[in-house]
Structure 1
Amino acid sequence: MEIRPAQMGDAESALVLHDLVAPFLATTGSGLRRRLSGPADGPGYGVFAAVDGEQVIGWTSTGLISGSDPVDGQLRLIVHPEHRGRGVGTALLETAHERLKEGGAVTARVFADPASVGWASQWGYRETRRVHYASMAPSDAPELPPVPEGLRLSPVNELDPRRLYEADEIAQQTKPGDAKITSRPYEQWLAAIWDSPAMVLDLSTALVDTDGRVVGFTLGNGDHEKIWSQMTATLPEFRGRGFAKLVKCATLHRAAAAGVTGMYTANYDGNSPMIAVNQWLGYTRTATHTVLICPL
């Protein structure tokens, strides 16, 4: 068994591993290849594989949470069920920690199977909350709610990016979660969201007022087969009016028309309003993970 930086040739075997262990993460082959072919995505970024011959038996990816203060690192880690208990997870986790510390992170967080809590406690991980994964076929979306007068729905890629950035800045600072988000420069946001080939902005939706201000939006990443709904938000003064339900429903309709077969998302257990929205839309819970955090 060898632990090394992941390579382009690992993509096919890594996709098989992801589909076996964590299908609810909506990992795509195009997404894996894109990540492996692109330049390193800044400090703390890394993708590592545990390989046994030609088979990828473990995988971890790392990064920093944009705008977090103090700097918070995050990672994903999966190991093939037939290779657990042999030190694969330990080697991958220690490699991930080193990369995050090199990037300046003072803490690390991971979403893990609740059965892993005891194992992770060896490194000082503690449970903070739980996150629930859900999925649905976009063709099963309910009828689109009416659009309020004075507002319009728009594909995100047709917006002025500065307008979306302004709304996302507010959303990131007011969303539920453990990381304290402050702000990130516009140029950094452009690279991570607007210009990122991982995003499907043509199938993401915003609700815009007559002045062009984005009052609600939902963003997805993936491809035109599987989409991960990574962020949905309504500006604070517009909450409680069903706008999140409206933009998410509109996105489902547009995704179905584009041939997307699977929509995936996740919510923290304390985010009751968004969980209710997703249940109304038709999302079905498929898995639950524990959110673990440790000092580095």
Structure 2
Amino acid sequence: MAEPSLPSPYRGRPATPADAPAIHRLVAAGEQQLFGLAETGPDRIAAELALPGLDPALDTRLALDAAGEPVGWAWVRGRRSTVDVHPAHRGRGLGGALLDWAEERAREAGTDRLSQTVPDADRAGVGLLRARGYEPFVTEWQLAIELAAEPPEPEPLPGVTVRPFRAGDERAAYLLTEDAFDDWQQRRKSYPEWAALSVERDTFAPALSPLAFAGGELVGVVLALATPGSAEGYVERVAVRKDHRHRGIARLLLREAFRASYRRGHRSCTLWTHSETGALGLYESVGMTVRRSSAVYGRPLAGGQTAGKSKV
């Protein structure tokens, strides 16, 4: 795989796990500029570099400045990609060069379509993708709830018991969430992939992650993250078994998670959802409001071959 054609004095090379802190710095700088705070944690970058099926030597590239510091990066995995450039180095052609590399890598891997998520506030990123023929096809929303006081204890549901996540729950939680997400996702995650993005992250918070049981069986899951020193909690997963939906289990678990987050010291809690889940109304019903939005942009790649049924 050729290196991206970067403008002077930049040079490219593959990323390694040791680069995760430096990649996080450039990602955090962009979020700070767009949103006023850094939202992505270092553990998220480390998890992405360790995803099963992603070979950093083939599927990632860094743009290094003259001092050897990563100021841009890109990765490709199946039909998904990310391109990000430090705000101090934008407008110099790095984003376009990394996008060229991502498309070529996807074609080389036999992929017929490529997509990536870009915040609506990132006008330059949106403009670059649209100029290359990418079109939005999914809307994503970040929702938040302010926790000025401890939320009241939620009313229990008949026949449903709730307790925090504990060791040994991993496989059952994986099966429940993947079964639930079959309604809209086109590809089930393997357990290693799912775990790397949730329960194996450094910031996974079992005590803030309530589970619901009925008849001794797991029927609902909320998985939460807690970044040390942050006043904001984050809900990574919400899922209810299909035959137990419309009973109020998701609302019950979210309210339990909000109470636990408040007791941990969080004064707000956020999560992301998107237009294919149909869950926006659920989150609004428990007091969450939309804070910001993103879109998933995609385009077909000439010369690629179909790489599975996933459209993203």
Residue 132 of structure 1: how far off its partner (Å): 1.6
2:166 partner SS: helix
Partner of 1:283: 288
Q: Deviations over 1:149-190 (max 9, x none)?
A: 221112223553332232122112014xxx513x44546545
The equivalent position to 1:27 in structure 2, one of 40, 59, 82, is 40
1:255 partner SS: helix
Residue 248 of structure 1: how far off its partner (Å): 1.3
Residue 25 of structure 1: how far off its partner (Å): 7.2
Matched, 1:90 2:96: yes
1:199 partner SS: coil
Quick one: which amino acid aligns to residue 242 of structure 1?
G
Residue 243 of structure 1: how far off its partner (Å): 1.5
1:169 partner SS: helix
Partner of 2:219: 215
Show the 5 A alignment for 1:261-276.
Answer: 261-269=267-275, 271-272=277-278, 274-276=279-281
Quick one: which amino acid aligns to residue 263 of structure 2?
A
Q: 1:164 to 1:9 in 2, by over 3 A?
A: closer
The equivalent position to 2:165 in structure 1, one of 156, 160, 166, is 156
1:112 partner SS: strand
Q: Higher mean Cα deviation, 151-160 or 132-141? A: 132-141
CA contact (8 A) 2:223 2:238 kept: yes
1:240 partner SS: coil
Q: Higher mean Cα deviation, 277-286 or 46-55? A: 46-55
Rounded Cα–Cα distance in structure 2 between residues aligned with 1:162 and 1:9 = 30
Residue 90 of structure 1: how far off its partner (Å): 0.9
Partner of 1:43: 54
Partner of 2:310: none
Partner of 1:69: none
CA contact (8 A) 2:85 2:94 kept: yes
Matched, 1:143 2:143: no
Structure 1 length-normalised TM: 0.76
Q: How many correspondences in the alignment?
A: 280
Structure 2 gaps of 5+ residues are 1-9, 302-312
Q: 1:190 to 1:88 in 2, by over 3 A?
A: closer
Partner of 1:67: none
Partner of 1:131: 140
CA contact (8 A) 2:117 2:296 kept: yes
Residue 98 of structure 1: how far off its partner (Å): 4.4
Rounded Cα–Cα distance in structure 2 between residues aligned with 1:201 and 1:284 = 25
Show the 5 A alignment for 1:93-242.
Answer: 93-100=99-106, 105-114=111-120, 115=123, 116-138=125-147, 142-158=151-167, 160-175=169-184, 179-181=185-187, 183-186=188-191, 189-190=194-195, 193-197=198-202, 199-211=204-216, 213-221=217-225, 223-224=227-228, 225=230, 226-242=232-248
Structure 2 length-normalised TM: 0.73
CA contact (8 A) 2:44 2:197 kept: no
Residue 47 of structure 1: how far off its partner (Å): 5.2
CA contact (8 A) 1:24 1:286 kept: no
Rounded Cα–Cα distance in structure 2 between residues aligned with 1:106 and 1:113 = 24
Rounded Cα–Cα distance in structure 1 between residues aligned with 2:176 and 2:100 = 37
1:167 partner SS: helix
RMSD (Å) for aligned C-alpha atoms: 3.4
Q: Higher mean Cα deviation, 239-248 or 114-123? A: 114-123
Quick one: which amino acid aligns to residue 53 of structure 2?
G
2:155 partner SS: coil
Q: Deviations over 1:190-246 (max 9, x none)?
A: 5554444453334222111132x2211122345343543232122222222221111
CA contact (8 A) 2:52 2:193 kept: no
Quick one: which amino acid aligns to residue 75 of structure 1?
S
CA contact (8 A) 1:43 1:103 kept: no
The percentage of aligned residue pairs carrying the same residue is 21
- Higher Cα Rg, which structure: 2
Structure 1 gaps of 5+ residues are 64-71
- The structure with the largest helix share of the pair is 1
Matched, 1:259 2:270: no
